[in-house]
Amino acid sequence: MAALMVGASQAPVSAAAGTITIAVPGLPPSQGNPFKEGPGTPGIHTYAAIFDALTRVDDKGIVRARLATYWKTVNSTTWRFTLRQGVKFSNGEEFNADAVNDTIDFLVSADGRKTVIGSTELPELTGAKKVSEYVVDITTKTPDAILPAKLAALYIVAPKAWKTAGQDVFAKAPIGTGPFKVDSITTTRIEMSAFTGSWREPKAAKLVIIPLADAASRLQALQSGQVNMVAGINPDQIAAAKKSKATVISVPAPQVMSLAFNVTAGGAVKDVRVRQALNYAVDKEAIANGLLAGKGKAATQGVTPVVYGYNKAVTGYQYDPAKAKELLAAAGYASGLTIAADITVGSFPSDNLIYQAVKADLAKVGVTLNYTTITFAQWLPQYNANSWKGEAFGLSWNSAPRGDSSRPYAIFVCKPVGAFYCNAEEDALVKKAATELNAAKRLAILKEVAVKVTASAPALYIVEQIDLYALGKGVKGFSAGNRSITYENIYVN
């Protein structure tokens, strides 16, 4: 397979100066250990400043160069990566094939397999082998068409620092190749200084990340000038933010909010007509316009246009309550239906309000939706074992960080353990996409998957989610994609 991209490093335009302070909803509980956190928030707001992966996935789902500049397959289970030269870690260590080897050696070790990245993001990795100083082969158990995209979740750590400190101590003083190096980490503050030797040399001299779990106090911190920017404001705060001269930036998230149906357990949702009816019954446009301030969009399928594999020919379920009633009647539920759903709230902008709007719309077609709000700690074991008592549960179609539709489809269709929906034909297609190394053929398969799975409706697709950022006066150079903030370009004018 041909290499995908060669990226260009950002050349600094001036010496690092000034402090950027950012308020975020939370800091990574595992502090500076990038393997113990999932690839999304809250870890990514911190790690994007400290570390780099071999690749990154842009906001169109295209794999771009990061610490690797070129990649190709050597055989069906081996990918060869050519590494960027002249890159240093913030403690002075050289970045080279040994560094990649060491990171992957850890990840495939018994300890590495107990980390979130080792166990759930990259379980298929089997090892790495140095070919030359800047070339490394990475191997997988089975052919993996999108290993370069998946490796966007794997941050490369400074090998000597990692080995000397051990992962527990390293977490307090993490060392990467990113634009900032950590000065101190506590549960309420991370302070960093510019790593002027970084290949992504920053424009700001200092970066301070402060967790403010409460959205109102995050915005107040910006309005009072105590922070320069905020990651995660609510749609209903946009007007207030703009009024205080802040710039609000909405970035499409590679995530579709949905209620997944527990189809394998039987019940009413086993009937595809019921699942389709529920999709027709919800006015997703109104939700996107009203509760996401028009920044989010009605979901048409399980992935968003920023994800590789999105099929724009799939238009999904347009709001049609009459058709919903018709389908429900055909399925034998003309007199109504009651559905129970377990949800977690506080994960996405306006999620609680969105769930309530869905409930109200379903009530109009005679469907009573009863929610039980649970914590993530209660949600996870039920999700893993598919031990839900109700017919539905909150689950988003998350394509991050690899930006590829195969990620959510492999979960929504025949999840290996605890499947809540399974269809042999669709599963075969998803598995075929996982191993198809020809890019054009693979994209065609993914688009076919989008058509078939959308028609099967294993979930009530609701909205394409958004990430909202607010920038204070004078903040320049901000950009973010796939939840990753480009910290090196930000400065305060």
Partner 1 sequence: MKARLKAVGSRLLQLVVLLGTISTTLFLLLRLSGDPAILLAGEGASPETIDAIRADYGFDKSLLQQYLMFLWDIVRLDFGRSLVNSQPALGFVLQYLPSTLHLTFLAVFFNSIIAIPAGVWLGAKPTQRRRKILSTVVSVAQGTPAYVIGLLLIQIFSVWLGWLPSIAGTGTWAWVLPTATLSFALAPNLIRVVAASVEDTTRQDYYRTAKANGAAPNVLLIKHSLPNALLSTTSLLGAQFAFLLSGALITEYIFAWPGLGLILVQSITNLDFPTIQATVFVVAYLVFIVNLLMDQVFRLADPRLRRSQL
Q: CB-wise, 105 or 320, nearer to partner 1?
A: 105
Tell me: does residue 183 bind partner 1 (CB under 8 A): no
The residue among 42 and 296 lying less far from partner 1, judged by its C-beta, is 42
Residue from 455, 457, 248, 205 nearest 349 by CA: 248
Out of 75, 384, 387, 438, the only residue in the binding site for partner 1 (CB under 8 A) is: 384
Which part of the chain contacts partner 1 (CB under 8 A), choosing from 112-120, 125-133, 150-158, 464-472?
Answer: 112-120
User: What distances in angstroms separate CA 484 from CA 123, 246, 254, 258, 424, one per listed residue?
Assistant: 23, 20, 12, 23, 35
Whether the Cβ atoms of residue 79 and residue 138 lie closer than 8 Å to each other: yes
Q: How many residues bind partner 1 (CB under 8 A)?
A: 49
**Smallest separation (angstroms) from partner 1 to the CB of 381:** 5
Q: How far is the CB of 32 from partner 1 (least distance, A)?
A: 9
With binding defined as CB under 8 A, does residue 415 bind partner 1? yes
Binds partner 1 by CB under 8 A, chosen from 380, 389, 441, 473: 380
Asked if 377 interacts with partner 1 (CB under 8 A), we say yes
The smaller minimum CB distance to partner 1, of residues 305 and 418, is found at 418
For partner 1, the closer CB: 23 or 274: 23
CB under 8 Å to 324, separation ≥6 — which residues? 277, 278, 279, 280, 281, 365
Kindly state whether residue 408 participates in binding partner 1, applying the rule CB under 8 A: no
Helix extents (H) in 11-133? 43-50, 97-108, 116
CA-to-CA separations, 202 to 20, 32, 168, 205, 291, in angstroms, rounded? 11, 20, 28, 7, 36
State which of residues 67, 210, 288, 471 lies at the interface with partner 1 (CB under 8 A): 210
Residue 148 CB neighbours (<10 A): 27
Indicate the residue among 115 and 311 with the shorter CB distance to partner 1.
115
Q: Which is nearer to partner 1, 33 or 101 (CB)?
A: 33
Task: Report the half-sphere exposure of 338 (CA within 13 A, side-chain side).
Answer: 2
Identify the residue among 1, 13, 216, 286 touching partner 1 (CB under 8 A).
216
Please state the closest distance from residue 254 (CB atom) to partner 1, in A: 16
Q: How far apart are CA 112 and CA 123, in angstroms?
A: 10
* Under rule CB under 8 A, residue 31 binds partner 1: yes
Q: Which range, of 153-161, 199-207, 306-314, 414-422, touches partner 1 by CB under 8 A?
A: 414-422
Among 182, 207, 221, 413, binds partner 1 (CB under 8 A): 221
Contacting residue, 225, 266, 336, 474, with partner 1 by CB under 8 A = 225
8 A C-beta contact, residue 450 and residue 309: yes
Q: Taking contact as CB under 8 A, which single stretch among the options 9-17, 135-143, 412-420, 438-446 is the one that binds partner 1?
A: 412-420
**What is the distance between the alpha carbons of residues 477 and 490, in angstroms, rounded to a whole number?**
4
DSSP-assigned states of every residue in 415-442: -SSS-S---HHHHHHHHHHHH---HHHH
- Of the candidates 451, 18, 23, 368, the one whose C-alpha atom is nearest the C-alpha of residue 230 is 23
Contacts of 250 (CB under 8 A, 6+ apart): 295, 466, 467, 468, 469
Binding of residue 417 to partner 1 (CB under 8 A): yes
Q: Which residue has the tokens 């000597």?
A: 160
Q: Which helix (H) or strand (E) holds 111?
A: none
Closer residue to partner 1 in complex, CB, 211/366? 211
Nearer to partner 1, 97 or 190 (CB): 190
Residue 86's region, left for phi above 0, alpha for psi from -120 to 50, else beta, is: left
Q: Given candidates 92, 266, 381, 474, which one binds partner 1 under the rule CB under 8 A?
A: 381
With CB under 8 A as the contact rule, which of the stretches 78-86, 337-345, 374-382, 463-471 interacts with partner 1?
374-382
Residues in region 265-324 near partner 1 by CB under 8 A? none
Cis bond leading into 28, ω under 30°? Answer: no
Closer residue to partner 1 (CB): 115 or 177:
115
CA 202 from chain centre, in angstroms, equals: 24
Q: Per rule CB under 8 A, is residue 245 in the interface with partner 1?
A: no
Q: Is residue 164 at the binding interface for partner 1, with CB under 8 A as the rule?
A: no
Distance CA 31, CA 168 (A): 10
Question: Terminal CA-to-CA distance of the chain, rounded, Å?
Answer: 44
**Minimum distance from residue 230 beta carbon to partner 1 (Å):** 12
Polymer length in residues for the chain: 493
> Does the protein bind partner 1 through residue 29 (CB under 8 A)?
yes
Question: H or E element: which one contains 196?
Answer: none
For partner 1, which residue of 136, 227, 292, 485 counts as binding (CB under 8 A)? 227
Binding site for partner 1 (CB under 8 A): 29-31, 33, 36, 38, 110, 113-114, 116, 119-121, 123, 167-168, 171-172, 186-189, 210-214, 216-217, 220-221, 223-227, 244, 375-378, 380-381, 383-384, 411, 415-417
